[in-house]
Amino acid sequence: MPNVYPVSRRFLGIGKEVTPGTAVVPTFTFPMTTFTPSDKPIWLRDNSWRNAMAATYGVIQGPEQAELDMGGPFYGDAMGYLLLDMFGDYAVTGSTPTNATTLSAPSNAGVSTITLTSVVGYTAGIIIQIGSGTTAEVRKQVGAPAGSVVTLDSPLYYTHAAAQAAATVVAPYTHKFYLLNNGVGAGGSVAAQPPTYTVTDYTGLTPTVEARTYNSMVLSELVITSNAEELLTWSAKASSWVSQLASIKPTAAVTSTATQAAWRSKVGIGGPASGGTQVLNVQEWSFSISRDIAVEFTDQGTQNPYSIVRGPMTVTGGLNFMPAIDEVPLTTMLANTQPQLQMVADNGLAGSSLNSIQFDSQLGAYTQSNLNVGGVPFGFDTEFESVANTTNVGQSLGFGPASVTLINNVYTY
């Protein structure tokens, strides 16, 4: 009897690349219900005339890439990988800071050590927050201090001046994602380009290693949807290098985090999703983050792309007012008032068990608000587009259409 490979044993892993296109082993097993890869070589055909009635006399393989469609239920610890791929500007802070001290010397972006004024309480395995605000970052300590020098488990994203704050922190951690507008961000030194990722697809079908990798994954679309009668869900589209055999057989290490019911979400219009600006009659909301990307091939002696380049970001979304209690969705569109929008969804837990996602758009222009007559009550199906502003921005400043905040027990992405 031949071998068979049940789809239910499939799993996906993801890891952030140090160098775009250079595959890395997975650091996180990403639960999904949809992962549809499509390897797409460009086929070059010889159609030259040969005194015959045939059309094609040769098919040569040209440059190649892959396209990925993926999605599934929302997991609060998983989504940060996709948000960092999409946004690139990133800051993270922890909770309950203790052992407060300062940097006694500058620490440059790309280094994996910091020099502290005091190392009391700094032991192997603790979690350290360096800096504050939009350049705050969190790392794990490796080993005991060497004098006043502490080694971190991964290089710093940002340069931190002497006297900046440092402290030990615990979960939950608050991750803020903004549009990267310059070369200083979680993506490294390439101008305004977020990091790339390797996705590993375990199917069992691939000889020996049983998995294929998709290197240099770059997202072009990420959609989060909250319908009150369903789970919070997501979907995404991406481009990558054509698939390759994994270097080693991957091992699944599935998250213990539970997915979330969408009814736990809140919507704010004209302010935060609490107090007087919370709106109670939104049955479904969504936001879609899209980026122009270009897969660029060059004469470099390889079929892989020279680069997959991110361009401008567009953020759109929808608000389904059902039942309608007034004409405000329509009049807001007609008046073009562009209210502040906020959507928050959490799992109802606290401390290190809290998982939350928050979408913020300082200027949400309603572009459509149609009367919905398909149900028992009237409703309004409203679409919006986020307008670039100087509020939804991180350390790279400039303009941003929106920002997203995650709270979970992951200390860094």
Write down which residue in 173, 201, 234 finishes a domain: 173
Report how many domains make up the chain: 2
**Is 253 in the same domain as 335?**
yes
**Is 224 in the same domain as 282?**
yes
Q: Is residue 49 part of a domain?
A: no
Q: Is residue 53 part of a domain?
A: no
**Is 133 in the same domain as 185?**
no
For residue range 330-367, what is the model confidence (pLDDT) as tens digits?
999 999 999 999 999 999 999 999 999 999 999 999 99
pLDDT average, residue stretch 224-237: 98
**Is 140 in the same domain as 240?**
no
Look at residue 409 and tell me whether its pLDDT is greater than 90.
yes
Supply the mean pLDDT for the chain. 97
Q: Is residue 324 part of a domain?
A: yes
Write down which residue in 148, 173, 198 finishes a domain: 173
For residue range 238-264, what is the model confidence (pLDDT) as tens digits?
999 999 999 999 999 999 999 999 999
Write down which residue in 152, 173, 194 finishes a domain: 173
pLDDT average, residue stretch 231-244: 98
pLDDT at 184: 79
pLDDT at 135: 97
**Is 158 in the same domain as 254?**
no
pLDDT average, residue stretch 365-394: 98
For residue range 100-158, what is the model confidence (pLDDT) as tens digits?
999 999 999 999 999 999 999 999 999 999 999 999 999 999 999 999 999 999 999 99
**pLDDT-based confidence at 407, cuts 50/70/90?**
very high
Query: What gap in Å lies between CA 289 and CA 313, rounded to an integer?
Result: 7
Q: Is residue 55 part of a domain?
A: no
**Is 130 in the same domain as 195?**
no
Give the range of the structural domain holding residue 116, as residue numbers without chain letter.
Answer: 93-173
Look at residue 387 and tell me whether its pLDDT is greater than 90.
yes
Look at residue 223 and tell me whether its pLDDT is greater than 90.
yes
Q: Is residue 54 part of a domain?
A: no
Q: Is residue 2 part of a domain?
A: no
For residue range 63-94, what is the model confidence (pLDDT) as tens digits?
999 999 999 999 999 999 999 999 999 999 99
Look at residue 17 and tell me whether its pLDDT is greater than 70.
yes
pLDDT average, residue stretch 200-226: 98
**Is 231 in the same domain as 160?**
no
**Is 99 in the same domain as 77?**
no
Q: Is residue 413 part of a domain?
A: no
**Is 101 in the same domain as 201?**
no
For residue range 289-304, what is the model confidence (pLDDT) as tens digits?
999 999 999 999 999 9
pTM metric for this prediction: 0.96
Look at residue 185 and tell me whether its pLDDT is greater than 90.
no
pLDDT average, residue stretch 370-388: 97
**Is 203 in the same domain as 352?**
yes
32 vs 186, more confident: 32
pLDDT at 188: 65
Q: Is residue 1 part of a domain?
A: no
Three-class secondary structure assignment of the chain: CCCCCCHHHCEEEEEECCCCCCCCCCCEECCCCEEEEEEEEEEEEECCCCCCCCCCCEEEEEEEEEEEEEEEECCCCCHHHHHHHHCEEEEEEEEEEEEEEEECCCECCCCCEEEECCCCCCCCCCEEEECCHHHCEEEEEEEEEECCEEEECCCCCCCECCCCEEEEEEEEEEEEEEECCCCCECCECCCCCCCCEEEEEECCCCCCCCEEEEEEEEEEEEEEEEECCCECEEEEEEEECCCEECCCCCCCCECCCCCCEHHHCEEEECCCCCHHHEECCEEEEEEEEEEEEEEECCCCCCCCCCEEEEEEEEEEEEEEECCCCCCHHHHHHHHCCCCCEEEEEECCCCHHHCCEEEEEECCEEEEEEEEECCCCCCEEEEEEEECCECCCCCCCCCCECCEEEEEECCCCC
**Is 189 in the same domain as 294?**
yes
**Is 382 in the same domain as 402?**
yes
